[in-house]
Amino acid sequence: MPEHTSPRPALGRRGLLGATTLGAVALAAGGQTRAAASTRAAVTELRERAVVVGTGFGGGVTALRLAQAGVSTLVLERGKRWPTGPNATTFCRFANMDNRSAWLTDHAIVGGGTQTWTPYTGVLEAVVGNGMTAMCGAAVGGGSIMYHGMTLQPTKADFATSIPRAAGLYDDLNLWAYPTVSRMLGISTIPYDVLASDPYKSSRLFQDVAPRAGLTPFKVPLPIDWAYVRGELEGLYDPTYTTSDIAFGVDNGGKHSIDVTYLAQAESTGLVQVAPLHVVRDLAMDANKKWVLSVDRIDTAGTVQERIRITADAVFLNAGSPGTTRLLVKSRAKNLIPDLPDAIGTGWGNNGDRIWAWINPTGDAGTQQGGPACVGGRDPSSAIPLTVVHAGSPVQQTGVTALTVVGFGIVDGAGTWAYDAATDDAVLTWPTGTDAELQALIAGKMQDIATAGGGLMIDTNAQAPSTWHSLGGVPMGDAVDLYGRVLGHKGLYVLDGARIPGSTGACNPSMTIAALAEHSMRTIVRQDLGRVL
């Protein structure tokens, strides 16, 4: 097992971490976070035309479209690369978690595990706030490495409810941006032969029960090459899809994550350099109104190897909602960038996430539960739009059958981020009861499922709310324009989920983040190329 340390400063908080989609009633206890030991490091000065921070859905789209426009681009990513292939052992498994699962910590952050280890630059960070914990990816490919892959497009009405400032963009998004993302990620639904196999009994059970619970069932579009799943069914590959052991990444390959789609195409142009293990500490504006990034290049033990000062004409922030927001909140509080919009640090939401465990349903759920989350249901009569999906649980307790069922819907972006000078970081506050009305509806629907299908439902987030779908912090209309330009600051852009205020129309956010980035980059290349960068 690799031994590593994380470079990010601790938040200085301890507490329970919300359950994950990995299994039922899984709570992770907080523990000590170790800061990396720093060495005496040299300082390097770099001059770049364009810098992209982050390699998730927004960052991947941004890098590729800049490259295709002929712009030499440096892409900074705090995490490492995680190459995969048939029978690879790139990622740890849920039953045997190790330090590859966690960023910054010496302990397990999901699943209630008690393991401790030497900290490593692993794939997940838990950002603990007041009233909510945000789970964040840390890898080349961002959250696409460990997400289940649900690629859902909201309806026009639900999009407008979630993102009213951008409602006028929907027709364009629907015409070409959403289809572009679907094509780039190779989206498809689970084939009939795979769904009919033994590992997918739990998915078929959910499909059978959903209509009796008032849900309209559907197959979830996913960025998966199903030949790899069939290979597992045929015994060619060690099981990972067919056991839903995918939340730290998919060992066998076949997942069309951002690193092997958008980023791979961007790098193939020769104009894009992806720099893993580069942590952006601060962002400032210099006297010439150029952008200056203070960056630490680290090793996989988290030790600083080099301090870098990068001056750029344009910076595209795609560090994820918490990462982008924290960076800009720091820049404003420390006066590194004058006159940043007051709305920075506002409009944050959890996409309405809630994770439930369906315990001992009457029907046959099988002995293992295949994934990714391939089936779901919508409630057409709900007062607030919501979606429910079944995600397989990778481990089962003896004598207990537990299915993970996830609900999400439209919420207000009422969360805020405030600077904490003691930790030189921004801290999230999610007001109690913000999403109470939606959660009551989700709870009612979960009970409908249990009534129709037997067993009982347990809210695994009741004691420790968490989300895997952070959105907002730099909201459109108030902090950035419709194309991600930070208001009043030429050459500074936000193209990730930080600009979406709280939710994405009762869908998980990845497709909308990527589609908005596609739409914005088309305009930025047309209007800003040669004028800004």
The type of residue at 408 is: F
| Nearest CA-CA partner of 458 in 384, 356, 371 | 356
* pLDDT at residue 39 tops 60: no
Q: What is the CA radius of gyration of the chain?
A: 22
Q: Are 133 and 127 in contact (CB under 8 A)?
A: yes
Over the stretch 13-38, which tens digit does the pLDDT of each residue have?
222 222 233 433 233 333 333 344 45
Q: Are 392 and 246 in contact (CB under 8 A)?
A: no
* pLDDT at residue 478 tops 80: yes
Would you state the pLDDT for residue 41? 56
Verify cis geometry, omega within 30 degrees of 0, for the bond prior to 372.
yes
Over the stretch 314-366, which tens digit does the pLDDT of each residue have?
999 999 999 999 999 999 999 999 999 999 999 999 999 999 999 999 999 99
Report how far residue 311's alpha carbon sits from residue 291's, in angstroms, rounded to the nearest whole number: 6
Report how far residue 518's alpha carbon sits from residue 328's, in angstroms, rounded to the nearest whole number: 23
The class of domain 16-528 in CATH terms is alpha beta
Any idea which residue has 């619970």 for tokens? 213
Over the stretch 168-194, which tens digit does the pLDDT of each residue have?
999 999 999 999 999 999 999 999 999
* pLDDT at residue 500 tops 60: yes
Residues 6+ away with beta carbon under 8 Å from 424 = 9, 330
pLDDT band at 519 (very low <50, low <70, confident <90, very high): very high
Question: Residue 422 — φ and ψ, nearest 5°?
Answer: -65, -30
Over the stretch 75-111, which tens digit does the pLDDT of each residue have?
999 999 999 999 999 999 999 999 999 998 999 998 7
Q: What does the domain layout of the chain look like in residue ranges?
A: 16-528
Portion of the chain with pLDDT greater than 70, in percent: 92
Would you state the pLDDT for residue 396? 84
**Other beta carbons less than 10 A from residue 34's beta carbon:** 15
pTM of the model: 0.93
Q: Are 456 and 370 in contact (CB under 8 A)?
A: no
3-class DSSP assignment, residue 211: helix
pLDDT band at 280 (very low <50, low <70, confident <90, very high): very high
| Nearest CA-CA partner of 316 in 332, 303, 327 | 327
Report how far residue 490's alpha carbon sits from residue 488's, in angstroms, rounded to the nearest whole number: 6
* pLDDT at residue 40 tops 90: no
